[in-house]
Amino acid sequence: MHRSIFLLIIFICICSPSFAEDLIKLRPYERQISFTGFTRPVQELSIAPEVNGKCTAVFVDVGDSVGESGVVAEIDSTFVKLDLEKNRIAQRQTSLELVLANKTLGRFKKLINKESTAQATYDETVLSAEVLELTLESLKNEEKRLAEQLERYTLRAPVAWDVIERHVEVGEYVRQGEPILRLGNFKTLIVPFLFTYEELSLLQRMEKLTLYLLDLSGEVEAKIYRVAPDFDEKRRKILVDVAVEKEAMDSNTLLRGGLRAQLKIKGKTEQNSFRIASTALISRYDAHWLLLPDGKQRKVILLGTTEDGKDAIVNGGNLTTEDLFVKNPASYTRD
């Protein structure tokens, strides 16, 4: 009789809303793997002159963005400009000589038709006019070459890229091929990670990627930018670049290179391992139990806690997600 009344009380307590709030179920535990990397520009570029000469101007410094013109530096081009002017004078001179030669040729044509001049004299006049035409054509080609060479004394870079390093000052002599500026495209940032093949497979199956920026205490959506076809021989892992667009963050947030970024990948569901609120755990002398609604205790193995400390990770061969346990055993009293 007393046993029936006791079971009835337990049944009523379980069915009551206030009691139900004190009970929780186990949740499957998915192992989470954390990786940390640093943001960097999606592209980098070194600007180096194609000619030797003295640097006469540098229009950007470290931290500056390249302007709409794209011009970042200039090298002294005095001698090329002089050669170009000399070429143009020679062209004008040759043009005048060619005009005179063509007039002379016209007169000799009339004379040769009347057989009033020697054929040899006529041929020499034709040759002279043709040589002047070829000379003028050669001078025009030389002008194009000099104009192209003059362009190489003005150094340009991609618009809106940011200067990372500057290696030259105005007045310094620069040599062909030696970098004078290093720039980066910070419109998109990437974070390189090294993954095993299994980790990469888990990453590619995730519907949404999120990077937690530790230095900014904020999260931002990300995507897989590129996956290396080969692997790092030393670490035996695959290089994967995860990208984040600047537009994905608040306009007031300083998104730049060198920020610590954390990526979490959900692993496989661990067999016989579960998550439950840390408050549900009864711990004594390095042993741990969970309290059943009927007052009995079930022993579990504590594997650890989640990063925020709110959930405990437990293991037990006789546990299922259908089991009910008391959320706060310390304040729990059985009616």
pLDDT digits (tens, 9 = 90+) for 129-183: 788 889 899 999 999 999 999 999 999 999 999 999 999 999 999 999 999 999 9
Confidence of residue 238 (pLDDT cuts 50, 70, 90): very high
DSSP string, 137-153: HHHHHHHHHHHHHHHTT
Opening angle at CA 302, ends 296 and 303, nearest 5: 150
Token pair 């080609």: residue: 141
Residue 311 pairs in a beta bridge with 277
Q: Taking the domains of the chain in order of start, what are their residue ranges? A: 23-30+270-331, 34-41+185-267, 49-75+153-182, 78-151
Each residue of 23-67: pLDDT tens digit? 888 777 777 788 999 999 999 999 999 999 999 999 999 999 999
CA-to-CA distance for 331 and 333, rounded, in angstroms?
7
At residue 76, what is the residue type? D
pLDDT value at residue 105: 67
CA distances to 57, 110, 129, 145, 163 from 118, in Å: 63, 12, 17, 41, 72
Q: Which of 73-87, 138-152, 292-306 has the lowest mean pLDDT?
A: 292-306
Among residues of the chain, what percentage have pLDDT more than 70? 82
Do 23-30+270-331 and 49-75+153-182 agree at the fold level? Answer: no
Structure-token pair, residue 79:
């001698």
Q: Are 170 and 55 in contact (CB under 8 A)?
A: yes
DSSP string, 167-236: ---TT-EE-TT---EEEEEEEEEEEEEEE-HHHHHHHHH-S-EEEEETTTTEEEEEEEEEE-SS-BTTTT
CA-to-CA distance for 142 and 7, rounded, in angstroms?
107
Of 2.40.420, 1.10.287, 1.25.40, 3.40.1130, which CATH number belongs to 23-30+270-331?
Answer: 2.40.420
At residue 224, what is the residue type? I
CA distances to 70, 100, 101, 183 from 116, in Å: 65, 21, 19, 74
Nearest to 121 by CA among 104, 143, 137, 133: 104
pTM of the model: 0.67
CATH code: domain 34-41+185-267 is 2.40.30.170
Confidence of residue 224 (pLDDT cuts 50, 70, 90): very high
Q: Which of 110-119, 129-138, 178-187, 227-236 has the lowest mean pLDDT?
A: 110-119
Domain boundaries 49-75+153-182, CATH class: mainly beta
Largest separation between any pair of C-alpha atoms in the chain: 152
CA distances to 23, 214, 289 from 292, in Å: 9, 40, 10
Interhelix angle 78-113/119-151, rounded to 10 degrees, is 160
